Structure 1
């Protein structure tokens, strides 16, 4: 069954032509217990996973908005919502985010109920801090040969411009031209059988992290499968392809950004198909 990340790229492929440097927005919410201004252990784990995937290089600015549910006095809620926003700021700076990039920190107070149904669920959603990161879209690399005729079994190629939503197996739209080019090149190199390897960063070896899209702890594998599904859909023989989640087992030693990657690895070569 095709996953949501794959369905998303099918939607975008009909609309994407070319991309230039432009501003892009990344938004996520983190939730608090009643009358509490710090994240609990589960939400802090979710925050740390999200923060580990932030590309700090392209950040333009960060805004943090704190909210409360509709219970309590206005002054109390205003103070509490501001404390929640400040808590998120402290977690960001602890992760090495430059404080000068955090340009807006606002406690917006209470959020009213929008319907008489599901009141507790609404209140739980309203007890949150919203984190908005504005950053520049990356320029696509110039066209180049991804698969040369000199590759050997075991060789790896890092796909620099295969980009995903933070902590999700949803592809960013910038990835579509890269995948289109990759499909064309793989079709032109029928001698190569290829494994698609998904990597994550910032975790102990042998441990994957949660895919917020599905709730399963298989993010590195889910991302590799999105690429596999796309290539098969575009007509590449599935017998030539495999996919695998490599978790955080193979850091490159070049920083977190380089450890969040998708690689191609040559698994076999059939020169009769050249």
Structure 2
């Protein structure tokens, strides 16, 4: 299988400031408001980009079991406990939203709503043809794989970092201009035992599941879907650590596009 690497030699053009909002949900057992170690780890992973965060709103909820008064207090305690984990280094407001009119366990939760600081995002201007994304993808035949250099995620999560926007922009533009191309998004993680290939996937700290490579591939898939790429043209798959490149952990943590038809 041939690998084609996207070269991101870009000229920067300033674009107006944009504000990004993310939401992370933390789920609780019935009648529980304390934050457990797994939940705390997810919150800590999210805060690795704290320098970019403007403010956080923590909203606590309970499902409809027990009295309305009890559930209101339970939702407040859940929000307060999550706020305590986040700490005082960021502007945080906690709110108990009371009960949701549903018995589903998914309603026993806290939503962490993060607003990022406004910043100037640099839009990519395409470089000469010999290093452009269009040339790299146009050279790919059916069955070939294109490595998307520059796709970055928050450690342990399937949350795409803003630094990935130039690559995603170029992928989207190429696909919109080449509607016959069908493809699969492939997510990879590191690391196996003693660096050996492994079918065991990484842990997604947002969900607690061993599906990190699949979830990251899905995140890219969802971005492209939102940007106008038809779902019939694409799919996604997690490759775990089954195909290391032998060039170190950073290279093994990657997202690829496999060309299905063109």
What TM-score, normalized to structure 2? 0.50
Higher strand proportion (structure 1 or 2): 2
What TM-score, normalized to structure 1? 0.48
